[in-house]
Every structure is written in C-alpha cells, then in structure tokens.
Amino acid sequence: MPVPGSRLLVTLAALQCLATCGAPEANADASYRCLALPRPPSHDLVRLERVLPDIDIDGGIDLVQAPGLPDRWYLATQAGVLHSFPSDGSAPPQVALDISDRVVLGGESGLLGVAFHPDFASNGDAFFSYNAPGGDVFTSRVSRIHSPDGGRSFDLASETIVLEQAQPYSNHNGGDLAFGPDGFLYFGLGDGGSGGDPQGNAQNPDSLLGKILRIDIDGGEPYASPPDNPFAAGGGRPEIYAMGLRNPWRFSFDRVTGELWAGDVGQNLWEEVDRIERGGNYGWNIQEGPVCFGQDECDAAGLSPPVTAYRNTGGASVIAGLVYRGSDIPDLVGTFVYTDFYASTLSGVAPGDLPVTLAQTDVRGLVNFAEGPGNELYALDYQGGIYRLAPAEPPSGPGLPDKLSRTGCVDPVDLRTPPAGAVAYEINHPFWSDGADKQRYMMLPDDGELGLLADGDLDLPPGSVVVKHFRRDDTPIETRLLVRHDDGAWAGYSYAWDADGRDATLLAAGETREIAGQPWIFPGRDECLFCHSDAAGRTLGLELAQLARTIAGPDGAPIDQLEHLATLGLLPEHPPIVPLPALDSDASLEARARAYLHANCSQCHRPDAPSGRARIDLRVGLTLAELGVCDAAPRAGDLDLAEARLLVPGDPARSIVSTRMHTLGSTRMPALGSAQVDTAGLAVIDAWISGLTACP
C-alpha cells in the first residue's frame, strides 16, 4: 500500500545515509539512487538552430522568399505588416507594406498569408490573404498588390481585390496562399467557424468555406477557374479544388513531385495531415481525423483518409510544413516535416507514408515553415524567431532506466512507496490533474540545501529529483520524475504503470490511454517543461505559500512543514508567508479563486512565461487591476461570445477566463495535461466572477 502523503519521511539518519550511498554506475545494469540521473541520449534526427537572432518581430505568421530573390526574406505579421530583410541578417528589417488599417485583427483573424507571383521578377505582383471588414463578422479577402521597385516596397494604392468570402463566425479562417507548379493560385478557407461546422459548409459544394480553392489569376478579371477544377462544368463552385476541410491553416507543394500537403486543424480529438488531390473530399464534418465525428458510425465512402493523424491531448493545432529537398540532412530528403503550435515536437511523414518523430525541441509556438536558400527548411515562431533545420548531434552516453524499479526513485521492496532518504511534502492547493490522487517527494544530493528564489519558489540543487505518483483509488497510473541534471537544466520524464501494477515503463513521448474507462494524458517531455516553466521556478508546488501548512510528522504529531524543513537543515531562513488557501477551505471566495488561478494558470500567465498570445499575470498577491484581465479584450479569440472580455464582472458566461476552462480541445485552458473539466474549481471561479461588480 502507498505510504499516506501526510507523512514526512525524511529524518536526519536518512540524510546521513545519503552521504554513504555510492554514486550510480553509468551502464544498463546500474542501480541508481535517484540522484544525478543521466539525461537520456537524444535520438533526434534534426534540431532547430536559431538564426538571424536580431530579427525578433512579434506576431509573425508567414515567412517567404520571392522568386528570383534568394538573398531576401519577407516576414508577415498577423497585424498586417510585411517586413523585409537580407537573408544573412546584415541589415535590420524594413517595412515593405503596411495594411494594418485594412485588417480585422483578432484571435484567428488578421493578415494570414502571402504569395509572390511566379513571374514576380518581371511583373512585381504579390498576393495577400487577410480578413477585412464586411460580412456577418468579417470577410476573407485575397488581394493583388504591386511592387514598383523589385520588392523593396509595395504600392498600397495598387491593391486589387481578387476574391472575397464573407465569414459567419470569427474562427477557422484558413488563409494560406501558394502558387502551384501549374502556375495557379491555391487558397485555403476554413469551414466558417463556430464548432462542428453548424452550417455544413465543408460538405457543401456551393460554398467556398471548408475548401482549398484553385484559381487562374492571369486568365481573367479578377480571375478565371481552371477548366479541370472538379466543378468547373457545374455542380458546385468552379473555384473549388478540394473539399471537406475544417481549417487548413497551412499547406505547401513538394518542389520535386508537385504533391500538395496540408495540415487540417481538428476539433477536440484529432489533428490530421492530408495529401490534397484534385476533387478529394477530406471528410469534415463526417469524420474528424480517422474516426466518425459525433457519431458511432458514418458513411465514409468516397472520403480521402488522412496520411497521418494524432490525438489532441488537451491543446493542439497542426502546423503543416514542407517536404525537405535540401542537402544538409540527407536522411531527411523526401520527408514531409510538420509540427504543432502547442508542442515542441517536430514530426514527419517519410517516403512510403511512414510517420516519424524527428526531434523533441525546446521551441514552441511555431506557426509556419519556409524553404530558403539551397532548399533548406526554416521555421517561424509567433514571436518572430527564425530557425533553420540542421542535423542533430549523434546520441551518446547512458540513458535513464526503462523501468521505474531501476531508477532508485522508489522503494525496491514496494515500488509504490518512497525510498530511504526521500523528503515527502504536501501542498495547499494542488494543480488539477483530472481528479487523480498524488503523492509527492524529492531526492536531494548530499549537500542538498534548498535555495530560495525571489517569488518564494524553492531552488533545488543540480542532481535533485522531484517525484510525483498519480493514482485513482489504489490503482497507480503514472510516476513523473522532474530532474535537475548536473548542467543545471531541468527535464521531465514519465513512467506509465504497467497493467499489472508491478512496475512502470519509461515513455519516449507523450500519449493518451484509456485507464479505468477514462482518458489519461501522459505528457511528452517538452510538455513537462512548458507547464513547469522557468519563470515559475520549475518545481511549481515547491514554493513557500504552497508548503506553509501543518502536516503529520514522522511520529504522527502535527508539525509545521516549513519549520521542520528548516530544522532538518534543508531550508534557509525565509520571511513570514501567507499560505495559499485550499479550494475547499474556509478562506474567502476571492482568496480561493485567486489561489486556483495561481496554482493552475500562473505558471504560464506571468512575465517571461510561455503565455501564448495572452498578456496577463495570474499570480496570487496581485490586485485585480494588475492581473490584466478585467474588461480586457481577448487576443486569442473570443470563442464567438457576444462582447467577450477576458473577465466581465458579474458575468462568467462572457468571460474568456471561465469559458476556456469549461471547454476541451484546442480552446482548453489549461492547454495541456487535462482531458476533464474541473467542476469544483470552476464553480469557485464562476462564483468569484459573478460576485465582482466592477473593474478597478
């Protein structure tokens, strides 16, 4: 049976034992003691190498080069500005075009795509996809704009509207543009938005929504439809090339084969990669990914299945890339490279349609890929960082044991209990983990005094390991190790308990399993550090406000947890601390709600943390005004709420802070690690919002 989490296991004798234990051997048969665990050798095929570090343009969404101009990059921002700079970064960016006053900027709206005419060197024409005023919500527009000086600038007065499509909702705008090897312009449009395609646009051949279009911009005014388009002779809109898409955010052509690849962003369960063919129907909203959508059975006759698909594990948006045709990474040639906006894993489809994992990187928020000089691949993140795909270093060194029993992080007799020398601890306000019970302890090196960071977070020395067991009732599910390696960097590793409960196996990547009839998300290694952010001190629960509580000591008597850690010589002197109240405590409603936001949200939503597009600070101790949420307009979409704000006093139904917590899928907050809504926590948040009368 697991030792109850209320017992602090460390004693001075146990600490002395730590000093006498031998160091782990670095071989496959080593008997580790859960200290100075080795970083697993990387088996990545590629890596992301930051280039052009002086280019740092917020809100970047497209990175392109014009035909015949390999020495110049163009970077477009969602806000509507096209920047230009030399490929080698030898000069700062210059504004080549600014259409921000014509762009409707919102969560998924704005300037979304740029494509240069194949004959740009002679005609100076480029095409821009953006959302403009008009329609029920706004209009998706494709415009032609001329450059009179070889791409140094664009004449806004020359804008000619090529195509417009009214949007019924604010999301699923697609917006990518690309010229195919046939010289025609391809344009992707989402299904019109909301959820589940309520208007049935994707399967309606008389609607341009939920489609990839193909038009001849040189064959008519403002364009002509190629005669071999599927509905050119009737039966649907002649511009349609392929249908049944939910939100084809990015697509590209293989420069060798001419094949068209697209990433179609899913709803709540599946993200998919498609090879788009003329006349193909890619299933939405009959299917989502490889399964029926919203029903147990469906008629899939005539539908084109995805080349590959992956589960949404709490937050996902597939970012389609390009087929690699460079020379720097020979093993990658012919592989379609893609990623996900919310993850830092580079994935691929190798020749023969073989799905492969290419790299676990430390880069999140990628929005696009680009082909640069020498046909090498580049990637763009939303904050404007530019990366080049480069060969990975060959793997070397020892790895973590593949079984939890061999790590030294559990008792060798009873794997569900801590080993000798473990420092167990409890926290006041746990992070929501889909209702699982948790047991926590840490292992510290011989001279393992805990430091104290500015926000009250404990600073564990290199070599330390934080262990967390997850279980439902008495069934173990997962054990996570948060390791501070000898180089000072943190890393997270997940061990999934075997079905017989006798041991747990190290996972190489994140996955979702059905356990006792409920989904359980095992996080990928990149996802661990996304939540355990550097800005939040990495360990999260190991902060003074969380640890300031009374617990049962080794003899069962009540003790103050912080004082006991100090008595054991582990904790330095610290100022008086206000404990974080538990969700079910008798503290005020405001105090409990703010504690919930701190424990579940502030690790990402604080200064210098990976907060995506939001610019808010949800740490406890700040005033309501300092949170940056009250009556603030959302930057990452309004979820089609009328007059939505991040927080509307007295109205949780119009408050994005509440609404995102009520949802699952790509709109979910927290974005990772949860497949169930925390009804108890949300009841506190909604009651707090309902009780607010005004913004400060």
Give the model confidence (pLDDT) of 473-524 as tens digits: 889 999 999 999 988 889 999 999 999 999 999 998 888 898 888 889 998 8
**DSSP state string for 46-69:** EEEEEE-TT---TTEEEEE--TT-
pLDDT, residue 636, reads 72
Give the right CATH number for 54-310 from 2.40.70.10, 2.40.50.140, 3.30.110.40, 2.120.10.30. 2.120.10.30
CB burial class (10 A; 0-12, 13-18, 19+) of residue 444? buried
Band (314; pLDDT cuts 50, 70, 90): low
Print the SS3 string covering 90-146.
CCCCEEEEECHHHCCCCCCCCEEEEEECCCHHHHCEEEEEEEECCCCCEEEEEEEEE
- Average pLDDT of 63-81? 97
Segment holding 337, helix H or strand E: strand 336-340
- Compute CA distances 202 → 175, 198, 243, 247, whole Å: 15, 10, 6, 10
Q: For 567-588, how does the pLDDT look when each residue is reduced to its tens digit (9 = 90+)?
A: 888 988 888 899 999 999 999 9
Res. 277: pLDDT tops 90: yes
Average pLDDT (646-651) is 96
CA distances from 474 to 427, 438, 481, 544 (A): 21, 11, 20, 30
First to last CA, the chain: 51
- Domain limits, CATH 2.120.10.30, in the chain: 54-310
Q: How far apart are CA 455 and CA 575, in angstroms?
A: 11
**Looking at residues 255-273, what average pLDDT do you find?**
95
Residue-wise burial string across 272-296, b where 16 or more C-beta atoms lie within 10 A, e elsewhere? bbbbbeeebbbbbbbbbbeeebeee
Give pLDDT, residue 612.
61
Who wins on pLDDT, 438 or 395?
438
Q: Give the distance, in angstroms, between the CA of residue 676 and the centroid of all CA atoms in the same chain.
A: 18
Cα angle, residue 179 at apex, residues 164 and 146 outer, rounded to 5°: 65
Interatomic CA distance for residues 165 and 204, integer angstroms: 15
Q: Indicate whether 22 pLDDT > 90.
A: no
**pLDDT value at 26 more than 60:** no
Cis, peptide link before residue 93, omega less than 30° from 0: no
In whole angstroms, what is the distance from residue 580 CA to residue 544 CA?
A: 9
Please state, in angstroms and rounded to a whole number, the distance separating the CA atoms of residues 642 and 655.
Answer: 10
> Is pLDDT at 7 greater than 50 in this prediction?
no
Strands (E), 354-499: 354-360, 366-371, 377-381, 386-391, 423-424, 437-443, 451-452, 458-459, 465-472, 475-484, 490-497
Q: Determine the 3-state secondary structure of 290 from DSSP.
A: coil
C-alpha 128 chain-centroid distance: 27
Work out the pLDDT band at 5, boundaries 50, 70, 90.
very low
Q: With 80 as the cut, is the pLDDT of residue 24 above it?
A: no
Distance in angstroms (rounded) separating the CA atoms of residues 265 and 209: 14
Tokens representing 599?
């424990």
CB 367 within 8 A of CB 373: no
Burial class (CB in 10 A: 0-12, 13-18, 19+), 86: middle
Q: How far is CA 262 from CA 48, 225, 241, 459, in A?
A: 22, 21, 13, 44
Which of 156-160, 419-423, 507-511, 607-611 is predicted with the least confidence, judged by mean pLDDT? 607-611
Most confident segment among 33-47, 479-493, 658-672 = 479-493
Mean per-residue pLDDT over the chain, rounded: 90
Q: Give this prediction's pTM.
A: 0.68
Query: What is the mean pLDDT of the segment spanning 228-253?
Result: 98
Highest mean pLDDT among 9-23, 429-443, 524-538: 429-443
Average pLDDT over residues 419-433: 95
Range with the largest mean pLDDT of 291-305, 365-379, 637-651, 658-672 = 365-379
